[in-house]
Amino acid sequence: MPDLRQPNARGLFGGVFARGGVEAGDTAWLQAMLDAEAALARALERAGMAPAGSGEAVTVTAQAANFDPNALGELAALTGNPVPGLARELARRVPQTAVSAVHRGATSQDIIDTAAMLLARRAIEVILADLAAAADAAAGLAADHRATIMIGRTLLQQAVPVTFGLVAAGWLTSVDEARDGLAGVSARRLAVQFGGAAGTLASLGEHGGRVAALLAEELSLALPVLPWHTDRLRIIDLGAGLARTAAALGKIARDVTLLAQSEIGEVSEGPSGPRGVQGTRPSPQPPRRGGSSAMPNKHNPVASVAILGCTKQVPGLLATLVAAGEQEHQRAAGAWHAEWEPLTALLRLTGSASSWAAELLPGLTVDGSRMAANLAATKGLPLAEHVTSLLTGVLGATQAHDLVAEAGERAVSAGLPLRDVLLSVPKLEERLASAGIMAEQIDSALEPAGYLGVTDALITAALKAHETLTLPEWPYG
């Protein structure tokens, strides 16, 4: 648990929206830009276009701690982005012999786009680790509760029985698919950006292509066929991979908030923490998870709520990236700039949601007895479909449907179990008896465990897919 006595370095809302190991703030951006500049200096030296030792000199200097992001932000107002000020400051700090290796052949967009790729790769590594932990926990829930029967719900209404294991298997499959998609983006779509003023690398003459290749090698990024200054599909694909992940996590969190409602109570989040002993002076304790400022009795599903707080912001951010994909000629007038903050927020929020999920699922408490009680409280009505299928063979589809529908209406209006109505109302009982349907058959049709279809096989398939999942690997070093 974090030390709540220490100030949150990520701001007032950072504990919710900047949780976990993803770094996407000013310092992370600054270091990524400096990493791009340093790699360019090394590539230029390797290509014979900068003095020996200049790459190392720039690399040593290119550390975020040596620069003031606030001052660079002020300078950005003069040029529309922070790179010109950063390049000048970097050149001022390196030895004179290395100045020619600073920013040579590059344009500002080369540095920021390449930094975005580095930032994304580092963030995805953290997110994938959290998703793996969440997926493993979901797999454990699926295996442990494959036979824990509960009521299924469609359109927020009671449907037919399912098992909690199947619910968890659904979570597992979606998280694994999100992992696969995000790993695929990392492996195939993160590429160096290096095109110079208008994508021709004219300032480097015949050496431009080699420097670009060496830069990609230095950063272990893909070398694209062409500079992608105004081809923003890589950014959109990255945003989409993050949005898919957020969607998968949001689904889990929404299910948990619904199942954890007081009136349902089928799951709850992990331990709420110490509360002190009644009648004694409580010792200082950190605030318990899930508490309310007004209602001390509450145990709110904080992790799920936090995940939803993150994921609900994501669609609008992705929409901005897609809208910014239309960019003019060889350099956009504003659309490129519009990407920076939404992309930063997408990385941060997806990272935070993943971190919350990695804690939520391993600590989830499942109340099988409450699930059984809630299912029993339905008085057999969710099995009406099964009863109808039993009767169809002897009465025909229409008569079977009408008979069970009438029984269901009587059961609801009288507050009686469906079985009692079917076997106690003379009119219905006579029709069943004339069709040769006995009470034992009705009882069998109303047994939830007998109407789960291929649930067990589906859970097994999900677990097998998880166990054999092989994520796309980064092929560039």
Give the Cα-Cα-Cα angle 143, 149, 154 (nearest 5 degrees): 105
Q: Which domains does the chain have, with CATH numbers?
A: 18-106 (1.10.275.10), 110-193+228-269+299-377+454-472 (1.20.200.10), 381-445 (1.10.40)
For residue 193, give the nearest of 216, 217, 218, 220 by alpha carbon.
216
The predicted pLDDT at position 438 comes to 87
Which pLDDT score is estimated for 277? Answer: 36
Both tokens of 422, joined, read 């079917």
- Name 446's Cβ contacts closer than 8 Å, sequence gap at least 6: 380, 383, 386, 387, 418, 419
Q: Which of 10, 93, 210, 331 is catalytic?
A: 331
> Is the per-residue pLDDT at 84 higher than 80?
yes
CA dihedral 87, 93, 97, 102 (to 10 degrees): -10
Chain-centre distance for alpha carbon 426: 56
pLDDT exceeds 80 at position 475: no
The string of pLDDT tens digits covering residues 242-300 is 999 999 999 999 999 999 999 999 999 986 433 333 334 444 554 555 544 444 445 79
Would you state the pLDDT for residue 152?
97
Of 391, 443, 448, nearest in space to 420 by CA? 443
331 part of the active site: yes
- The mean predicted confidence, pLDDT, of the chain is 91
How is residue 344 written in tokens?
């930063």
**pLDDT tier for residue 9 given thresholds of 50, 70 and 90:** low
Q: Based on DSSP, count helices (H) and strands (E) in the chain, helices before strands.
A: 19, 4
Q: What is the pLDDT of residue 290?
A: 55
Please report how the helices 26-46 and 69-79 are oriented relative to each other, as an axis angle in degrees rounded to 10.
Answer: 70
Interacting residues of 64 by C-beta distance below 8 A, sequence separation 6+? 27, 30, 31, 34
| Mean pLDDT, rounded, for 124-141 | 98
Interatomic CA distance for residues 361 and 349, integer angstroms: 18
Q: How confident is the model at residue 8 (pLDDT cuts 50, 70, 90)?
A: very low
Residue 156 has pLDDT above 50, yes or no: yes
Reply yes or no on whether 292 is catalytic. yes
Of these residues, 92, 203, 275, 292, which one is catalytic? 292
Q: What is the pLDDT of residue 270?
A: 84
CB 123 within 8 A of CB 347: yes
